[in-house]
Structure 1
């Protein structure tokens, strides 16, 4: 939901731009949609921030700043309950002394909605959503909080922060740590993997899962009793009788399983 936190979220950025003499280029759009529709964003550059409200509309605010702001073109398409946003950056004039641009997409969607997000350079944040999420960034972190629905997320260069997700989780990062918080017992399989960071999983006291936790370059530890095989770099077995699969795997860090 929109709140004071979101209202003032970008205030420091705005003040910085004013102080630096830069004027942001803004694009505001509103689309009438229906619940269970799809928002698709594909952009060459830009951070994406998704929030929800109890209305059947999609509100879009795109902010573009920097000396190359005119080289960024954002187009929109609305078809029935779906909204598509495309961001194209002309890199032909992207050279020394003229190489600054910053783009943010602040989008508010219905509480029941689906997302397909792809950015080549920016972070992704999603809160308070009921729907399927497919999100990818080539250069930023991904944060998901208070969600109901299956998620498939990937980043090539950032951390993952997953808090209170009810649904199937498939999460991968090539260069960052992962924090997973499951305050309720999962009903579907979860898999989180990183090639270059640690994994910390906070689980409910009564969690019941089939655990597979492995690392190639650190240690694995669990605050839960596991019925299975426990080694320095792997713990495989069941917690509280077993349940959905919980896979925690890293190639370059430790895996810690803690009780909430």
Structure 2
């Protein structure tokens, strides 16, 4: 009996050794498809986007319409299953003349267990990258989890949030709020606007903000592990040090908040 048990144990251990030493083929195959849509949108309308995996790039053009290109990519060890999964990934649109809502519908994934891990049956890796053209006068509400956000040449209010990725905006006229966790923030505001609050917040990353020379605000800047670099004519209020500053800029105005934990902060004049 003991000999039989010993043989069984040896066989089981040999089986596991063989499996674990075999090369893993998960995510070896890549399949893609492209979704392209164009929607009419009045100037001053709103474009909202919600995604999980994938970056977003937005630029403006001289048309009252929104042009959306979504590049969908699925990686999996088995091409047939990757293609089946790709067919189930959908980009959903809800549209009227003043609003366009974009959302990605990801297929339901199977629950991983010991056997699926053992045989390399991981969930497919799915990425959806957006390239979008919008009217210059448009409001944006952009959210992703794993991906970068980039916006250029837009005149409107912008809310942008990601978890793992940077946020970059250039030549923006409007009220802006940005939030990320693992990534830096870089924003160039081309014109001053009235606002109640603008905020730029991250945890692991630096912040760079460029503003017009007539920009008026009550400024709050703070970092934990990093320095502050600014040559703006701030009228300091309360205590300040190299990691925390409060003050008025050009007589004060709306609240301008720049906060990070691990990173430096630079605020300067654009142009």
C-alpha separation in 2, matches of 1:259 and 1:54: 28
Matched-pair contact (CA < 8 Å) for 1:30–1:59: yes
**TM-score, normalised by the number of residues in structure 1:** 0.71
C-alpha separation in 2, matches of 1:152 and 1:33: 23
- Displacement, 1:97? 4.4
Q: Which has the higher contact order (CA 8 A, sep 6+)?
A: 2
Does 2:109 match 1:92? yes
Which of the numbers 131, 143, 146 marks the counterpart of 2:168? Answer: 143
Secondary structure in 2 aligned to 1:66? strand
1:186 match: 215
Matched-pair contact (CA < 8 Å) for 1:44–1:88: no
C-alpha separation in 1, matches of 2:111 and 2:149: 24
- Displacement, 1:75? 1.2
- Displacement, 1:133? 1.0
**TM-score, normalised by the number of residues in structure 2:** 0.69
- Displacement, 1:22? 4.7
- The change in CA–CA distance for 1:232 and 1:82 in structure 2 (over 3 A counts) is closer
2:153 match: 128
* Aligned residue runs from structure 1 range 161-172, under 5 A: 161-166=186-191, 167=193, 168=195, 169-172=198-201
Secondary structure in 1 aligned to 2:159? strand
Structure 1: tracts of 5 or more residues without a match: 1-19, 190-209
1:203 match: none
**Once superposed, which parts of structure 1, at least 4 consecutive aligned residues long, lie more than 6 Å away?**
none
The alignment's C-alpha RMSD in Å is: 2.9
C-alpha separation in 1, matches of 2:45 and 2:267: 36
- Displacement, 1:44? 2.9
Which of the numbers 62, 79, 97 marks the counterpart of 1:54? Answer: 62
Which of the numbers 80, 105, 111 marks the counterpart of 2:130? Answer: 105
- Displacement, 1:224? 5.2
Matched-pair contact (CA < 8 Å) for 2:139–2:156: yes
Structure 2: tracts of 5 or more residues without a match: 1-27, 76-81, 113-120
Higher strand share: 1
C-alpha separation in 2, matches of 1:28 and 1:259: 38
- The change in CA–CA distance for 1:131 and 1:222 in structure 2 (over 3 A counts) is closer
String of CA shifts for 1:237-256, please: whole Å, max 9, x gaps: 456x6434554443334445
Higher helix share: 2
